[in-house]
Structure 1
Amino acid sequence: MKRISFFILVSGIILFLLMYRWVDYREKELTDVLHAEEIIDVSYTYVPQGSDQFENTELGNPQALKELLGFLSQYKVKKTGLRDFESRYPEEQLNLHFIYTDGFATYSSLFERDVVLAGENQYKVINGPLDQEWVEEFKKKYLLGSNGQ
C-alpha cells in the first residue's frame, strides 16, 4: 500500500511539473506576458549609441499608453528561457519600464525586432518582427520630446 501511495504521489508531482512547464512555455499574447491590464504608466529609457549616459522619459499620457498596449496586443510570443540575449539590432531596441497599479512592482522590458526580454525571461515574437516604423513614430510622438534625440 505504501508503494502505491508513493507511486501516486511521485506521478502527481511529475504531472504537475510537466503541466507547469507546458503552460509557461506555450504561445501567449504579449500583453498577457506583460500583465497589461495592471499597467498604469510606462517609462522609456533612451541610450544614445556609443554613450554610457541614459535618459528616462515617463509617458504620463493615458491615450498614448492605450495606443502602445494596442500595438503590443497584436503580437504573440513564446518563452525561450531565461535571459540569454545578445543584441543583433541595437538600433532597433525599445527599452520600457512598466509601472503597475501597486506602484511598487515595476517591470523592465526590452523589445528588439523578434525578441522580447520581460523580467527574467526571454521570449521569441512568433508573428514578428515588431513593426519598427510604428515604434519609431511612437517614440517621436510621445517619448523623445521636441528635440527628437
Structure 2
Amino acid sequence: MKEVISTTTFFTLFFTLHTIVSWVFPFLNLGWLLAWLLIVVISLIISKFLYEWLERQEEGYLPPKRRNLLFFSIVIVGLSLVAVQYWNEYKEKPFSEVLAHYSYPDQIMINPYEGTDPITNKSTIDDLMNFLSQYNVQKVKNDKGERALGGHELVWDNDKGLNGPAVVMVLISEDNIWVNFDRYEVLNGPIDIEWVEQSLTIN
C-alpha cells in the first residue's frame, strides 16, 4: 500500500503544483521546461519522504485502516483539485475575468496584418476594455486550435510572462471571442461590432 500511496502522492503533487504555476504564471514559454523539471523533483522528494515515513510507521501506529484512509484522502484531494480547475476554466464568467490574466495594454495593434496604426490613446483603450468587459463568456473546447476567419483582431504585449513579454491576441466576432487559441462563447451577445469598428477608428 505504501507504494500506491507514494505514487498517488507524486501525481497529486505534480498536478497541484502544475495548476498553481499555471494560474500564477500563465506565460512561461520555454521556462516551462525548467518549471516541469522543478515540479517533478519536488514531487519526487516529497513522495520519497512519505514512502520512507510510511515504511518506518508500517508496524507502528499506522495500521491498514489508517493507511487506506490516507490513500483515499490523497485521491480525493487530487480529484477535487482537477474538478475545481476544470470548473473554473469552463464556468460562465465576465470577460474582464479572462482579461485579468494578462497585463493591461499600453497600446493595441489592430488587425496587425493589415498594417494599421496602433491605438495609443489611453481613453480609447479604456473604453474598449470596459466595453468588452460587459460581456459574459464561457470557454468552449477548441480541440483543433482553429480560429475564426474575419472579425477584428487586437494584439498587445503581456508583461506577466516571465520570459519576456508574451503576445495577447484577441479576435472579436459577434458571438465568440478568441484569446490566443482559446475560444469563448459570448452568452449575452451578440457583440456590437459596429461600436467596435467605430471605436477602432478613434485614436
2:154 aligned to which of 81, 87, 96: 96
Q: TM-score, normalised by structure 2?
A: 0.58
Aligned match of 1:130: 191
Q: Secondary structure of 1:58's partner?
A: coil
Aligned ranges for residues 55-74 of structure 1 at < 5 Å? 55-74=115-134
1:40 corresponds to 2:117: no
Deviation at 1:55, TM superposition (A): 1.5
Greater strand content: 1
Cα distance in 1 for residues equivalent to 2:94 and 2:177? 12
> Residue by residue, what CA displacement relative to the aligned partner does 1:77-119 show, whole Å, maximum 9, x if unpaired?
11112464463x73xx010002345571320111111111102
Worse-matched range after superposition: 7-16 or 102-111: 102-111
> Where does structure 2 lack aligned partners over 5 or more consecutive residues?
1-65
Deviation at 1:72, TM superposition (A): 0.8
Cα distance in 2 for residues equivalent to 1:110 and 1:68? 13
> Where does structure 1 lack aligned partners over 5 or more consecutive residues?
48-53, 143-149
Q: Secondary structure of 1:141's partner?
A: coil
Worse-matched range after superposition: 78-87 or 124-133: 78-87
Number of residue equivalences:
133
Aligned match of 1:145: none
Deviation at 1:9, TM superposition (A): 0.4
1:116 corresponds to 2:177: yes
Kept in 1: contact 2:147–2:178 (CA 8 A): no
Change (3 A) 1:86 1:39: closer
RMSD in angstroms over aligned alpha carbons? 2.2
Aligned match of 2:91: 26
Greater helix content: 2
